[in-house]
Amino acid sequence: MISNLQKDMKGRRVLIIEDDVRISMLMQESLAEMGCEVAGTAMLFDDALELATSRQFDVALLDISLNGELSYPVAEAMLERSQKFVFVTGHVMETLPAPFQGTPVLYKPFGMNDLRKSLRMALFER
Amino acid sequence: MAQLIRHKDWSKTALGTVEQWPQPLRTALAICLDSKFPTYMWWGPELIEFYNDACIPILRAKHPDALGKSARQAWSDVWPEIGPLAERVMATGEGVFAENLEMIPERDNTLASAYFTFCYSPLRDAMGNVAGVFVTALETTEMILSEAALRESETRLQRIMDSARDYAIVSFDAEGRITSWNVGAERLLGFSEREAVGKPGSIFFTPEDRAAGVLEQEMARARDKGRAADERWHMRKDGTRFWGSGLMLPMVGHKRDRYLKIFRDNTELRRAQERQALLTQELTHRVKNTLAIVQSIAMQTLRQSASMEEARDALELRLVALARAHDMLVAGNWSGGALREVVAKALGPYGDNGDSARIRCDGPDVRINARAVVGLSLALHELATNAAKYGALSNQTGQVDVRWEISGGADRRFCHRWKESGGPAVEPPRRRGFGTRSIEEGLAQEIQGEIELDFAPEGLSCTIRAPLQEIADSG
């Protein structure tokens, strides 16, 4: 039996922008389990900006801090292209700048359900 | 007194009866008795004493016996002080004024300093010759003592203010102008008392706080709430800043607004708090990072294990490997660790500390960064576990050769080679498991390097290449 949730996520192409490779790997596995495709991965700011503006994807997971560098410009680039994304953060609380308010935030460490919920919010509730 | 004088028997005195008194004496006595100011008269060479009602409280026990006595006897206790004045007037005919003259009169059988302000004027007979002394006297003891007490209390207060050398104690008027400035303020802020008093209190606030009107807000809060905390950067005369810590208080006993500010330099504590906050933040980050790694390891191990038992064993060993990497980082204050130690710890459980005949380790001393310590620890753990299960360490004769080197000039590269030999024939794995992924994806990205895993039949080899700057401990 395939649940509605799985049906929603099946085949979705997800871009992973995360500077910690172990977390990136965990995301890749979890996404595969949900039936998603990984559209690409980036760890560094420049690669992230490049992928965000060139790759085809349905939704992105975007770590707010990439090796200490804020990824907001990447988020702006995605907003301009009307791309959907989820912020990922290791902070306890995240205060988002005005243009990004309302964007779903995935707090580390996260479980499979948190990941799925945040992606659904980005895809269907905005 | 007039009655007392009239009824006294004067016939035995040098003056004779009242009817015999000369006119100048009568005239002067009338003035004396009419006065409400303490006034005495000493008449004739004997200095026979008269006084008015205003003198009675001052005379105390001497009244009424002093009347008609020689002043020399009546005032014998203080004559050494006042006698010379009276004698001088008698001799020269010139008035004398003495202010706050100290003497020790006998009063109620006690001796204590008393102070008087006197005016001695000559009294003359019909011929114009000096015939007596007209004395007005006012006791100033209370005034003198209270002035002395005030001076003493002021001195004491000043000493307290000046002794509080580590505390700036500053008072302000309603407009925020400085009205007092202690030694502590001088020491802390660099402005002398003369430079500071009268200036606006904002002189020792930072330009930002000056623009924001922080002093005025502090004063308003002190007035409304009874106190205002002062925890902020302040500025010295030379422009340097320090973290001031203290209070602004409304001053009691003033009709108009007055404020008192007491504060000290708390820069050290502030810096320590900032360091602490930074450390806590850093620690939180590291713990989260570690938890994420643990989560990643756990999920993948569980997913790829055939049985619960297998999962438990594999997970335990991987977490132990991670914990060992952590121990190294803690020992190295999280900056990194020695590669030789990373290798030795990973192989420790399988060989005899890496120097036995079966496991050979060789390479230069190199310190690697925290990321590389974790990545390599986990990777070497997977290689060692695999070797012990299926490879060169699974029989009695196999060998593992671990070598690393640094090559190249300006663009230096790091190369680490793991090579097994003498083990059972190697078969390529049926599927890519955690170990393979951890090395090929995890480690490769952690060190921005290339990994070559070769499942050659004669023995597995793993070559790790990376730019030295990606793995070296720069701290």
Domains and CATH numbers, chain A: 9-124 (3.40.50.2300)
Q: What is the pLDDT of residue B355?
A: 46
pLDDT band at B120 (very low <50, low <70, confident <90, very high): very high
What does the alpha-carbon distance between residue B105 and residue A56 come to, in Å, rounded to a whole number?
Answer: 112
Residue type for position B26: R
- Decide if B292 and A26 are in contact by the 8 Å CB cutoff: yes
- B265 and B244 in contact (C-beta within 8 Å)? yes
Domains with residue ranges and CATH for chain B? 2-144 (3.30.450.20), 164-265 (3.30.450.20), 273-471 (3.30.565.10)
List of residues 6+ apart from B396 with CB closer than 8 A = none
Instruction: Flag whether residue A126 sits within 8 Å of chain B, measured between CB atoms.
Output: no
CA distance B445 to chain A (A): 6
Q: What is the mean pLDDT of residues B171-189?
A: 92
% of chain B with per-residue pLDDT over 90: 45
Q: What is the pLDDT of residue B475?
A: 59
Burial of A78 (0-12, 13-18, 19+ CB in 10 A): buried
% of chain B with per-residue pLDDT over 70: 98
Q: What is the pLDDT of residue B7?
A: 86
Handedness of CA B404, B410, B453, B327 (dihedral sign): positive
Q: What is the mean pLDDT of residues B35-54?
A: 92
3-state secondary structure of B348: coil
Q: What is the pLDDT of residue A31?
A: 92
Residue B410 has pLDDT above 80, yes or no: no
Going by C-alpha positions, the residue among B191, B89, B103 that lies closest to residue B140 is B103
Instruction: Flag whether residue A89 sits within 8 Å of chain B, measured between CB atoms.
Output: no
Residues of B in contact with A24 (CB under 8 A): 445
Q: What is the pLDDT of residues B243-270, one digit of tens each?
A: 999 999 998 876 677 899 999 999 999 9
Residue B224 in tokens = 């409304």
Instruction: Flag whether residue A22 sits within 8 Å of chain B, measured between CB atoms.
Output: yes
Residues of B in contact with A30 (CB under 8 A): 299
Residue type for position B198: G
What does the alpha-carbon distance between residue B348 and residue B419 come to, in Å, rounded to a whole number?
Answer: 17
Locate tokens 């980082």: which residue? B329
Q: What is the mean pLDDT of residues B33-55?
A: 92
Q: What is the pLDDT of residue B353?
A: 46
Q: What is the pLDDT of residues B60-92, one digit of tens each?
A: 888 888 898 999 998 888 899 889 999 999 999
Q: What is the mean pLDDT of residues B397-403?
A: 90
pLDDT band at B360 (very low <50, low <70, confident <90, very high): confident
Whole-number mean pLDDT of chain A? 87
Q: What is the mean pLDDT of residues B342-346?
A: 88
Which residue in B300, B445, B448 has the most chain A C-beta atoms within 10 A of its own C-beta, making it the best mutation to test that interface? Answer: B445
The string of DSSP codes covering B355-374 is -SSSEEEE----EEEHHHHH
3-state secondary structure of A59: strand
Whole-number mean pLDDT of chain B? 88
Q: Are strands B241-250 and B130-139 parallel, antiparallel or unpaired?
A: unpaired
Residue B403 has pLDDT above 70, yes or no: yes
Going by C-alpha positions, the residue among B92, B97, B166 that lies closest to residue B129 is B92
Q: What is the pLDDT of residue B198?
A: 94
- B399 and B421 in contact (C-beta within 8 Å)? yes
The string of DSSP codes covering B159-193 is HHHHH-TTEEEEEEETTSBEEEE-HHHHHHH---H
Burial of A101 (0-12, 13-18, 19+ CB in 10 A): exposed
pLDDT band at B411 (very low <50, low <70, confident <90, very high): confident
Q: What is the pLDDT of residues B296-318, one digit of tens each?
A: 888 888 888 889 998 999 999 99
> For chain A, what's the residue count?
126
pTM: 0.60
Per the model's pLDDT, the better-predicted residue between B330 and B352 turns out to be: B330
pLDDT band at B163 (very low <50, low <70, confident <90, very high): confident
Residue A124 in tokens = 């269907």
Q: What is the pLDDT of residues A37-91, one digit of tens each?
A: 999 999 889 999 999 999 999 999 999 988 878 999 999 999 999 999 999 988 7
Locate tokens 């793991």: which residue? B418
- B393 and B350 in contact (C-beta within 8 Å)? yes
Residues of B in contact with A65 (CB under 8 A): none
> For chain B, what's the residue count?
475
Instruction: Flag whether residue A43 sits within 8 Å of chain B, measured between CB atoms.
Output: yes
List of residues 6+ apart from B421 with CB closer than 8 A = B392, B398, B399, B401, B458, B459
- Decide if A90 and B285 are in contact by the 8 Å CB cutoff: yes
The ipTM value here is 0.74
Residue A108 has pLDDT above 90, yes or no: no
- Decide if B295 and A26 are in contact by the 8 Å CB cutoff: yes
List of residues 6+ apart from A69 with CB closer than 8 A = A45
pLDDT band at B293 (very low <50, low <70, confident <90, very high): confident
Residue B418 has pLDDT above 90, yes or no: yes
Q: What is the pLDDT of residue B239?
A: 92
Question: What does the longest C-alpha to C-alpha distance in chain B come to?
Answer: 157
Residue A6 has pLDDT above 60, yes or no: no
DSSP state letter for A99: G
Residue type for position A120: R
Going by C-alpha positions, the residue among B368, B338, B343 that lies closest to residue B446 is B368
Handedness of CA A86, A89, A94, A100 (dihedral sign): negative
Locate tokens 């994304």: which residue? A85
CA distance A27 to chain B (A): 9
Q: What is the mean pLDDT of residues A100-114?
A: 89
Residues of A in contact with B291 (CB under 8 A): 108-109
- Decide if B442 and A22 are in contact by the 8 Å CB cutoff: yes
Q: What is the pLDDT of residue B172?
A: 93
Residue B206 in tokens = 């930072």
Q: What is the pLDDT of residue A2?
A: 46
Which residue in A17, A24, A25, A115 has the most chain B C-beta atoms within 10 A of its own C-beta, making it the best mutation to test that interface? Answer: A25
List of residues 6+ apart from B200 with CB closer than 8 A = B175, B176, B177, B178, B215
Q: What is the mean pLDDT of residues B372-382?
A: 91
- B216 and B227 in contact (C-beta within 8 Å)? no
Instruction: Flag whether residue A93 sits within 8 Å of chain B, measured between CB atoms.
Output: no
Nearest to B445 among A29, A43, A108 (CB): A43
